[in-house]
Amino acid sequence: MGRVAVSQMPFRETDFAMARILVVDDERAIVESLTCYLRRLGLQAEGAFGAEEAKARIAADPSICVVVSDISMPGKTGLDLAAELLAQSEEMRALEVIMITGFADTDMAIAAMRAQAFDLVRKPFRFAEISETVKRAAQSALARRARAAREAEIHHRSRIAEEERQELLSRLVESEHGLRDTRTALEQSERGRYNLLAIVSHELRSPLIPIIGFSEVIASSPGLPPEELREYANLIHASGGSLLKLIEVALDVVALQDGQGLGPAATGRATSIAQRVRATLTEAARAREVTVWPDGTGEVQVRGDLNRIERALFQLVDNAIKASPQGGTVRLHWEPHGPHWTRFEVVDKGPGIPAEILAQLGTPFLQKDMSHSRSWAGAGLGLALARRVAEAHGGELWLVTPPEGGCKASLLVPSGAEG
């Protein structure tokens, strides 16, 4: 009836030095003979002669991780004891209970399972047989405790990192308040600096928390199970990817300052660019149950740095997905605009763009919501990148709020037509 082990980690004999075994029976001969045998195997075993004594021993000694208890005892039965101990047990002090009985019928086995016993051993038993069961139970309990300790350590380190982040933000806010009081002539520039520091601090430090936290756990825990190691590595990889995307967009914005930094010009189909952007954002749209609806002229051409144009369109569609209500639709449209231009349009049904944001369209680190508790993440670089890509190509980016609500972003770039 044994329970499936919680970990497949190799278990060393020396690990049992951390485990204490409690044998509970009202028959002194069984308690003394079984504890003596377990001690000869190198296990720390002791005895108790009833449920109440066993409970007192366990409360006083948290290193007890396996209880071997007779089912039939005067007063409180072994089943009652098991149910009570396991109901109160936390993973940091995980217990496994082995039941022993002389009446191992089906009803008794079911009762042991309901009490969440690790195993049921029938009397008379061989000491070699029950010692193997005790070792398996000790391995299970110690593995559960080790996992709980690792998870507690991760939570502790994450909490410390978050407290440090909050302290840094608090100091930044206090510093900016003082500067605004004494430097009124630089109020606008100081507000921009505050926004930059606050948002970049959040956006750069947030992915660093799991990167640093989980890498420290991996470095300090050489015995991590493979499945946990893969889980932590995936979290580190995802956080690193988010950090890299933010840095890449920021570098693009800087490189495109004053219309410089474009790559070699090439000609491509607007349909292909739109389809690649839509495919890249498939998972982001699915997560919000948003449908990205392509709607354009198939033969429209685009001329310029196609990689940067695609990145600009990506930012506009990504913003539209984030702004859309759950289950909404984003329309991605492209068409000729005069003889020498191609226009991409991205339309969402979100809350729209306030006038104060439209007045500063494309300013880096500018967002509709600049608070630390804003509704969706981002450093406000998307519109800045899109505007600079359009202007570097001689084009334009503009946003309007349609009468029916939402937002329509238009990106104008050169077409492939001959001038």
**pLDDT by position in tens, the chain (length 419):** 545 444 444 445 445 667 889 999 888 888 888 889 888 888 888 999 988 888 898 888 888 889 998 888 887 888 888 888 887 777 888 888 888 887 766 777 787 777 788 888 887 878 888 888 888 888 888 888 888 888 888 888 888 888 888 888 888 888 777 766 666 545 554 554 555 555 555 666 777 888 888 888 888 888 888 888 888 888 888 888 878 877 777 777 777 765 567 888 999 999 999 999 999 999 989 999 999 999 987 789 999 999 999 999 999 999 899 989 999 999 999 999 988 999 999 999 988 876 666 665 555 544 444 444 333 444 467 888 888 899 899 999 998 888 888 899 999 999 976 54
Structural domain total, the chain: 3
In a domain, 137, yes or no: yes
Domain contains 303: yes
In a domain, 2, yes or no: no
pLDDT at 367: 46
Q: What is the pLDDT of residue 99?
A: 85
Domain boundary among 146, 173, 206: 146
Pairing of strands 44-48, 20-24: parallel
Give CA–CA dist 388/11, Å, rounded: 59
Specify the pLDDT at position 213.
83
**Are 294 and 410 part of one and the same domain?**
yes
Q: Among the residues of 61-126, which ranges form H helices?
A: 78-88, 106-114
Instruction: List the one residue out of 268, 330, 341 whose CA is nearest residue 305.
Output: 268
Q: Are residues 254 and 298 in the same domain?
A: no
Same domain, 42 and 156: no
pLDDT at 390: 92
**3-state class (DSSP) for residue 90:** coil
200 shares a domain with 135: no
Q: Report helix angle 306-323 to 270-280, nearest 10.
A: 50
Which long-range contacts link 117-121 to residues 24+ away (Cβ below 8 Å)? 117/1, 117/82, 118/2, 118/3, 118/66, 119/1, 119/2, 119/3, 120/1
Q: Are residues 243 and 293 in the same domain?
A: no
In a domain, 72, yes or no: yes
Say whether both 141 and 98 belong to one domain.
yes
Instruction: Give just the sign of the alpha carbon dihedral 294, 300, 306, 312.
Output: negative
Q: Which domain holds residue 24?
A: 13-146
In which element (H, E) is residue 155 found? helix 127-182
Q: Which of 102, 131, 146 is the last residue of a domain?
A: 146
Let me know whether 303 and 410 are in one domain. Answer: yes
The CATH number for 280's domain is 3.30.565.10
Residues 114 and 165 in one domain: no
Q: Are residues 128 and 169 in the same domain?
A: no
Q: Which of 121, 146, 171 is the last residue of a domain?
A: 146
Q: What is the pLDDT of residue 376?
A: 40
Q: Is 289 helix (H, G, I), strand (E, B) or coil?
A: coil
Output the six-digit token pair for 300. Answer: 């429209």
Whole-model pTM over 0.85: no
Same domain, 220 and 129: no
Residue 205 lies in a domain: yes
Q: Considering the domain boundaries, does residue 100 fall inside one?
A: yes
175 and 133 both lie in a single domain = no
